[in-house]
Chain A
Amino acid sequence: MAEANPHPVSIQKVGGPESTAVLLRELVAHLRQSRTQLREEWARRITEAQLLTAMSKEEIFAEATAVYDNYVDVLETGAVEALQDYARNLSERIIPRGVETHEVVGIVLLLRDVLARSLFAKYRQDFDKLSRVLDAYEPAANRIGSTVAVSFVQERERIIREQQEAIRELSTPVLPVRERLLILPIIGMVDPLRARQLTEQLLRGIRTNRARVVVMDITGVPAMDATVANHLVQTVEASRLLGATVIVTGLSPELAQTLVNIGVDLSKMNTVGDLQGGIEEAERQLGYRVVPMIEEPPPQT
């Protein structure tokens, strides 16, 4: 309560840093004391709001306990790192269960409300004190809420990246066709990440299969920008370092133009029109001679 002071020495701002710390300690103590019933209240409201339907009641309760305790700890210490770790860990566990972002944000907001209501109830006789308590509580509670939400979203993004990586890997098979001969059919758009994965798989394939010739077919690649075209050239060069020559087949006139535009000397690159021709060229290089079998005479009609 601000009073006129005849001998002003220092004017302590109501709700200033010192009193905030004291108030936080007080409300943290209260929240810990009321832990059991507030946690139950919260779990009840989660179910009411039909959140976390993917989880069982027991699971919700277990996580609710951990979240509640973490929440109160962070209110007390202000140390967000532990909360981030917990949030990431929690996200890792619940994302595969199909829990969505709005649910995670929802339950954290509900907890904030439940705790706030409990503060209203406790300090309802002293409006000024309630004001100051809320001044201390709200910024801390909001920081907690956004920390949890952001951690959840970041974890989702990480998982999505991993899945994309796995998809890229599946979509680029390296096929050993004959001894020393590999075929690499590339289909679809190639972005720099896929190009890089392609190169890694091919180089490993060359080593594993002891390939001397690779036929890289790009008939199924609709377009390529200069970056990816560059990757292609690098793949050919890297393959050579492993002792394998690369025959590129299915090079459309447009792609050929792109390569020329980035300064590739196409005469140095081994290109053949189509996959069939490429395989024949490869066999020739490997020293195979393709001999036609003696044909059966056609049946007499």
Chain B
Amino acid sequence: MPSQKTTVPVNADIDIVTARQKGRELARDLGFTSTDLALIATAISELARNIILYANTGEIVLSVVENGTRRGLKVVARDDGPGIPDIERALEEGFSTSRSLGLGLSGVRRLMDEFDIVSEVGNGTTVTVKKWRL
């Protein structure tokens, strides 16, 4: 079974809407419940927003993943920004470096089933999240 993959470049705030709508579509095709669709779309929105806020360019890559009989959605948010110096702190509940804008990584982690982040100062950030269907 070939895995469908969609890449959404994220450079302007309108791309946030595009990314989450594409994510919602893919998730709906996978048969996620309407509640899960909202969680996924919201998580993608936050991840895309982080790219806009902290980097020049980035992309959101959406793909279907499998684990035995389970199918799921994988979202990879990649940017070329400055990187996160202190990942642990960024993952703390309610942490936000900028007053008016939310990093919300701890929130994103709550919304999804799996969460992984790789970030290096000067080398950008990659956040990978997955949500599994029944």
Interface residue? B1 (CB, 8 A)? yes
B69:A88 contact, CB within 8 angstroms: yes
Within 8 A of A (CB), among B51-93: 68-70
Per-residue interface assignment for chain A, residues 126 to 169, with 1 indicating a CB less than 8 Å from any chain B CB and 0 otherwise: 00000000000000000000000000001101100110010000
Per-residue interface assignment for chain B, residues 119 to 132, with 1 indicating a CB less than 8 Å from any chain A CB and 0 otherwise: 00000000000000
- In angstroms, Cα B33 to Cα A154, docked, is 22
Residues of B close to A85: CB separation below 8 A: 1
Query: From B33, which residue of chain A is reached at the shortest CB distance?
Result: A200
- In angstroms, Cα B1 to Cα A41, docked, is 34
How near does chain B come to A23, taking the closest CB pair, in angstroms?
A: 31
- In angstroms, Cα B70 to Cα A259, docked, is 35
How near does chain B come to A193, taking the closest CB pair, in angstroms?
A: 11
B134:A81 contact, CB within 8 angstroms: no
B134:A162 contact, CB within 8 angstroms: yes
- In angstroms, Cα B1 to Cα A271, docked, is 53
Number of A residues, CB within 8 Å of B: 11
Query: From A156, which residue of chain B is reached at the shortest CB distance?
Result: B69
Most A Cβ at <10 Å: residue of B35, B68, B134: B68
Most A Cβ at <10 Å: residue of B33, B68, B69, B70: B69
CB < 8 Å: which of B1, B35, B70, B134 contacts A200? B35
Answer whether A154 and B69 are a contact pair too, CB < 8 Å, given A81-B1, A200-B35.
yes
CB < 8 Å: which of A88, A154, A158 contacts B134? A158
Within 8 A of A (CB), among B1-36: 1, 33, 35
Query: From A164, which residue of chain B is reached at the shortest CB distance?
Result: B134
- In angstroms, Cα B132 to Cα A158, docked, is 12
Query: From A196, which residue of chain B is reached at the shortest CB distance?
Result: B35
Within 8 A of B (CB), among A61-93: 81, 85, 88
Residues of A close to B134: CB separation below 8 A: 158, 161-162, 165
How near does chain A come to B74, taking the closest CB pair, in angstroms?
A: 19
How near does chain B come to A196, taking the closest CB pair, in angstroms?
A: 8
Answer whether A157 and B35 are a contact pair too, CB < 8 Å, given A81-B1, A165-B134.
no
Residues of A close to B33: CB separation below 8 A: 200
- In angstroms, Cα B134 to Cα A105, docked, is 25
- In angstroms, Cα B100 to Cα A205, docked, is 35
Residues of B close to A161: CB separation below 8 A: 134
- In angstroms, Cα B134 to Cα A120, docked, is 45
Residues of A close to B1: CB separation below 8 A: 81, 85
Residues of B close to A81: CB separation below 8 A: 1
How near does chain A come to B1, taking the closest CB pair, in angstroms?
A: 7
Besides the contacts A85-B1, A154-B68, what 10 more A-B pairs have beta carbons closer than 8 Å? A81-B1, A88-B69, A155-B69, A157-B68, A157-B69, A158-B69, A158-B134, A162-B134, A200-B33, A200-B35
Residues of chain B touching chain A, judged by Cβ–Cβ distance below 8 Å, are 1, 33, 35, 68-70, 134
Complex A-B, nearest 10 residue pairs according to Cβ-Cβ distance, in ascending order: A158-B69, A154-B68, A154-B69, A200-B35, A161-B134, A155-B69, A162-B134, A165-B134, A88-B69, A157-B69
